[in-house]
Amino acid sequence: MPTIHSTELYQKLLNKYGYQYWWPLIRNGELLYSEKTHLRNPDEEEAFEIVIGAILAQNTNWINASRALMRLFDRQCMNPKQLTQMERPELAELIRPAGYFNQKAKKIQAWLEFQRTKIDGKVLNLCKEPLSEARRKVLSVWGVGKETADSILLYALDFPVFVIDAYTRRLFSRLEWISGDEDYDFIRKRIESQMEKNTLVYREFHALIVRHCVEYCKNKPLCDACSLFDFCSATNSGGD
C-alpha cells in the first residue's frame, strides 16, 4: 500500500472538495462560509464569535452548535457585554440546542471572566503575545482544552497551530500515520513539522479533513467511493 504525505493529502482533498472557507460565521441568521472573511483575519466581533462557537461545538455537530449561536444573535446577546449580564440558567436555556448546555454555559462564563480580567476585554489582545504564551493563557480557561484552544488560536487569532480533533485521529489512524492513542501535541507537532507554517493552509486542511470524514471516512467508512482508497488500510467491510 503506497503511503501519502501531509501535503499530498491536503492537495488531494483540496482538489476534490475545494476551499471550505472555515471558520463559518453566522450572518443575517444563516451560516456564512465566505471567501471574503476567509482571506483576511477576523475582527474582534468575529474572533469572539469563533471562541463561543468553538465552545458550543465541543463534541456536538455543527448544526446544533450554530443553532445555539443563532439564538444568541436573535436575542442580541452575541457580545461580551450582554452575555456577562446574563445569569447562568438563562444562558444555558438559550444555548440548549448545542447540548451539554449547563456545562457550556459555565464554560462561556469562564471565558468571559478570563477576557474581562486577563486580556483587557478583547480576544484579539491575545495576538500581541507570542504563540506559546497565548496558548498557555487560552488553555488556562476552565472548559477550554487543547482542541478548543487550538481552534481559537488558528481561526480567531491567526496563529499557525494545526488542530487535532476526533476526525483527524480517525483519518490519520486509517492512513496508518498514527496508531490512534498518541498524545495530542505529538500528533499536532508531527503535522506542523511536515507542512509549511501557513495559517490558511492549516485552516483549510483541518476543514477538509472534517469534510472528508463527514462524507466518507465515517465510523463505518464508505471505502468503495473514497478517493483515498489506495492509501488507506481501512476496508469497506464495515470495520477498520
Partner DNA sequence: CGCCAGGTTGTTG
Partner DNA sequence: CAACAACATGGC
Please report whether residue 155 would count as binding DNA according to CB under 7 A. yes
Contacting DNA (CB under 7 A), which of 10, 21, 48, 101? 101
Please report whether residue 61 would count as binding DNA according to CB under 7 A. yes
- Which stretch in 39-47, 81-89, 124-132, 213-221 sits in contact with DNA by CB under 7 A? 213-221
Q: How far is the CB of 50 from DNA (least distance, A)?
A: 8
Three-state secondary structure string covering the chain = CCCCCHHHHHHHHHHHHCCCCCCCEEECCEEECCHHHHHCCCCHHHHHHHHHHHHHCCCCCHHHHHHHHHHHHHCCCCCHHHHHHCCHHHHHHHCHHHCCHHHHHHHHHHHHHHHHHHCCCCHHHHHHCCHHHHHHHHHCCCCCCHHHHHHHHHHHCCCCCCCCCHHHHHHHHHCCCCCCCCCHHHHHHHHHHHCCCCHHHHHHHHHHHHHHHHHCCCCCCCHHHCCCHHHCCCCCCCCC
- Which stretch in 6-14, 58-66, 128-136, 171-179 sits in contact with DNA by CB under 7 A? 58-66
Residue 133 or 185 having the CB closest to DNA: 185
Please report whether residue 188 would count as binding DNA according to CB under 7 A. no
Residue 200 or 214 having the CB closest to DNA: 214
- Which stretch in 9-17, 35-43, 55-63, 192-200 sits in contact with DNA by CB under 7 A? 55-63
The site for DNA (CB under 7 A) is made up of 22-24, 53-54, 57-64, 67, 96-104, 141-149, 151, 155, 165-167, 181, 210, 214, 218-219
